[in-house]
Structure formats: structure tokens, C-alpha cells
Structure 1
Amino acid sequence: MAEKIARQTGISLNDQQWLYEISPKRKLVAFNFEEIWRYRDLLMLFVKRDIVTYYKQTVLGPLWFLIQPLLTSIIQFVIFNKIAQIESDGINYFLFALAGNTLWFYFSDCFKSTSDTFKTNQNIFGKVYFPRVIMPISITISNLLKFGIQFLFFICMMTYFIMQGKAVMPNWEIVFTPILLILMALISLGFGMIISSMTTKYRDLTFLIGFGVQLYMYLTPVVYPTSLVVKKLKPYGYENLVYLNPLTSLFEFFKYSYLGKGEFTTFGLVYSVVFSIVIFLLGLIVFNRTEKNFIDTV
């Protein structure tokens, strides 16, 4: 078709000035903010799609966002606090678990959805061009709605316990909550894009994601305080190993900001920030390399 137009106009293909030129990304780290901004309407459409499909054919709708952390926290309260006798730094265990679950659900939902990006969107990717990285970004944005509902529920419960005279002391560090969310999003995006790129060839990884996420939750201080692990490892001199998990310091900082209890170090926070940036860039590199030929293997 292009050659026919060139013959009719008398202008060679090499002489024509194209508005856009679509070609495979050659740079290791290709994150074109200008191009993503140009496709912002499509980004918002994907965000709307994710939200609408979640509500579709459900009776309770957004109430499921509240039921999930509520039931999970109650079950954890019974099993880990009443039966296993796990302490929570003097904080009511239900509120302690609710704080961890609120942050954890945002991370896990972003990670699990991002890790399935190529597989679930292969029909769209194979038909039309748009910056592929828009898809995982839309997932992190749409999950903010779910986090917002669960976060408001957590704030209401925290306010209730404060009015009841419980030992809850929010700190001014709550102003850093948006930064914590950005760091969580970067880590989930990085891990998710790496796994998504690998599942195009190795489908077995899909079956391991659910199990892996559950296992990772128990390696993260969601249902137990970091101080408990530090206390157990300190006699052996391995107490700093707990901070090798990049989520540890983020969760502890979140609990310290809102509940007044938490154990974290400056090293742990700096490590989490550096790790989130590095894992995101690594995931972006792998994602861009897979994007070039994934349609042949998916």
C-alpha cells in the first residue's frame, strides 16, 4: 500500500516524513515519559476496564474490598494471637494485622496482576501498537482504588481504637505514605514484569506465583512484628538479615507512622529505596527485551 502511494505521489518512501515511527526498543532501559503521556487516554481506559471488570457480576461490589481485609485480619487474630500467642508490640493484634494486610494486599494484587501481563493481554498486544509498559502501570493505578477503600477502613478502625483509649499513637511520618506506595508499586512492577517476561516461555511459573506470594507474606512482617524476629536472631548475630527483605522496613515504617510501634533502621529504609529502583529498572529491561518477540512464543 505504501509503495502504491509512493508511485502515485512520485515521492519515494525514504523521502517521506512520518509523524511516528514504530520500531523495536534498542535501549536497555526505555521508558519514554512523553510517549506514555501521549497515550494517557488509553492508560485511563485500561484503569477503568480493570475496575469495571472487578465489579462485574458481583452482588456486593466494592464491599468485597472491605470483606477481604476484615475476615483475613480476624482469622489471623484467632490463629496467630489467640492460639500461637504471637505478640504485637503492645498494639491490639486485630489492628496490627489490619495495618499489615492493608499494605500487603496492594503489593500482592499489583504483583500478581502484573506478572500475568503478557499472557492475559496477548490478543491486544498482537493487534495494535501502544507502549506496552502502560499495561502494568494501569494495574498499579487501578489497585489504588482498592487500597484507598481498605485504607479508609483501616483509618476508621484506628480512630475507633484511639477513642477507646488503646495504645495507638500516630506519628507525623504518615506524610510519607505516598512515597511508601510508590516504592511498593516499583517493587511489585519490577518483580511482576520479570515474572511476566519469563512466563511467556515457562508457563510453569504461573502455577508457582500464588504459592510464592503466600510464602513471601510470611517472610514479611505482616502478621508478626520485626522486633520478634530480631529478638530471636540477635543471640546468633544475624538480626540484620531480616532487613534484606526490602518490604520489611517499608511495613515497619508504615506501622510506626500509624500505630506508633515499629522497628526499622536507616540502613533498612535506604536499602528498600535503592532496591525498589534497581528491581524496577531490571524489570523494565527484561520487559522491553521480551516485548520484541514475545508474540512468537506466547
Structure 2
Amino acid sequence: MPAENSPQEESWTEVIEPRTSLLDLRLGDVWRYRDLIMLFVRRDFISTYKQTVLGPIWFFIQPILTTITYMVVFGKIANLSTDGLPQLPFYLAGVTIWNYFATTLTATSTVFISNAAIFGKVYFPRLTMPLSIVISNLVRFGIQFGLFLGVWAYYLVTQNTLHPNIYMLLTPVLLVLMGLLSLGLGMIFSALTTKYRDLAMLLAFGVQLLMYATPVIYPLSRLPLKYKAIILANPLSSIVETFRYAFLGTGTFSWLYLAYSAVVTAIILFAGTVIFNRVEKSFTDTV
């Protein structure tokens, strides 16, 4: 005879289990928490400029001031070549796509430290946080990209110096590569900064140095051959050059260089995933 008062099985809405593999991203969980990702995106977007006077206008001011500074310092004083292109669209093209990488990498690298209070109180897939940073900075890029398109359209109509081509269709691919590369590097540094806080400051300095190793303020074609190979070893170089070549018509484009960037991005993203999954299990003990 079955027991009359046997307990009923309880139904749980969330079951938290230890991971069996460092490569287990639990993308299904991330998809189920997509609303949370959008809330984080909204939080990042609003909190940055919530108590500022100019608000989102800073999205336009920052690249404009940076571009003007480059035009004065590198264009007028240093007299660096722009491959015959007008200085404003040349520098603005590099600044626009570089800002997306730099801001995403910097923000992702401190994701454990900046959100330790949230991580310690409630469970959600930890990967949602760096993904929200990638997406929120994509919104920022969209605004600055609109500014670039306005300047680009002006020069396209008034001057005969720009020669856009079909490779503009590669823009989404370039953004994906930039986003994944910054995500992978950011996850690596976020894991390291849980123990070594100094790396956050070192990274901010390193990102500035990395810009000079990327053809943001100079064209790749003007570099001596012995230095060009070193710069091309940087996976960001072909992405920036392709973006500039697509919209301005002058620069260096190669499917081989772009494929190299894609392979390096995949390797870094793989390494970042392994390290991030390993550290997230015990980071609360060290933060």
C-alpha cells in the first residue's frame, strides 16, 4: 500500500548547479536572462550621464574634441600624413571605431570589482554583465557613428576626396570582431584584477599605448616596411584600416589580414571564457 501522506515533488524555477566544464557558457541561461541584460544596458547608459549638465551630448563632444586635438597635434605640429585625405574624416574614422574597443575593454576589465556587491547577493549568469557592457557601448558607438556619417556625408558631397566602396557592408563584421576582442581581453583582465587591483590602472595606461600601435592617427601605408609587420601583428590594425578604407577609399585592405584578426579574436575569446569561468566560482573570496 502506498503511503497516504507521501510528500509531493517540489517544482523549482531555478536550479543552481556547479559547472562541470570551464567551457560551459550556459548560453541558454544567458538567453533566459536577456531582460536582465537590457536592464544592465539601460543602467549603464543612464548612470553615466544622469547627473551631468550636457547629458548624452557628451557622446558627441568627446570624439569631436579628441579629433580636433589629433588634427592640431599630429596633423599640424607633427605633420603626419593622412594619405591625402582631409584630416577631419580621417581622424574621426579612427577615433570612432577605436573608442568602442577602448571603452568596452576598460569597463569589462573591472566587472568583478565594480559589481561585487550585486554578485554576492543574488544569482544570475555572470556572463550577462560583460555582455551588457558590450551592448551598451554599442549604443554609444551608434551615436558617434552617426556623427561620423554626418561629417563623411558633408565631405562626400562638397569635395571629391572620399571614395567609399562596397566594403562598407563589412561594418557589422568589424564591430563584431571589435566587440568580441574587447570582451575576451576584458574577461581575462577582470579575472586578474580580482587579485591584483593595480592591473586596472595599468590597463588604462596600456590601452593608451596600444592606440599608438594601431593605425588610428596615422595610415598604415606610410609606415616603413620593418615596422609595418609589427603593427600588423596587432589584430586591431586590420580592423581599423578596413573601416577607414571602406568609408574613405584610402588605406590598406586584405582578406588575409582580416582573417588573421578573426583567428586571434577567437583565440583570445576562448582564453577569456576559460579564465572567466574559472575565476567566477571563487572571486567573492578575493574581491
Give the TM-score range, shorter chain: over 0.9
Which one of 210, 213, 237 corresponds to residue 216 of structure 1?
210
| Matched position secondary structure for 2:85 | coil
Instruction: Report the equivalent of 1:282.
Output: 271
Instruction: Report the equivalent of 1:20.
Output: 14
Percent identical pairs in the alignment equals: 49
Contact 1:122 1:295 in 2 (8 A): yes
d(CA) in 2 for partners of 1:17, 1:151: 48
Residue 138 (structure 2) pairs with residue 149 (structure 1): no
- Cα RMSD over matched residues? 1.6
Post-superposition Cα deviations, 1:211-255, rounded to whole Å, max 9, x if no partner, equal 1110011111100011122xx1x2x5x643321100000001000
Supply the AA of the counterpart residue of 1:101: V
**Structure 1 runs (4+) greater than 4 angstroms displaced:** 9-12, 15-19
d(CA) in 1 for partners of 2:156, 2:64: 18
Normalised by the size of structure 2, how large is the TM-score? Answer: 0.95
Instruction: Report the equivalent of 1:273.
Output: 262
| Cα pair distance change 1:88/1:130, threshold 3 Å | same
Instruction: Report the equivalent of 2:29.
Output: 35
d(CA) in 2 for partners of 1:112, 1:88: 28
Which one of 118, 137, 144 corresponds to residue 112 of structure 2?
118
Normalised by the size of structure 1, how large is the TM-score? Answer: 0.91
Shift of 1:20: 3.4
The unaligned stretches of length 5 or more in structure 1 are: 1-8
Which one of 67, 71, 84 corresponds to residue 90 of structure 1?
84
The unaligned stretches of length 5 or more in structure 2 are: none
Matched residue pairs, number? 283
| Matched position secondary structure for 2:271 | helix
Report matched runs for 1:197-212 at 5 Å. 197-212=191-206
d(CA) in 2 for partners of 1:81, 1:29: 47
Contact 1:194 1:287 in 2 (8 A): yes
| Matched position secondary structure for 1:62 | helix
d(CA) in 2 for partners of 1:208, 1:117: 16
Supply the AA of the counterpart residue of 1:99: A
Which one of 250, 253, 270 corresponds to residue 242 of structure 2?
253
Residue 127 (structure 2) pairs with residue 133 (structure 1): yes
Contact 1:107 1:188 in 2 (8 A): yes
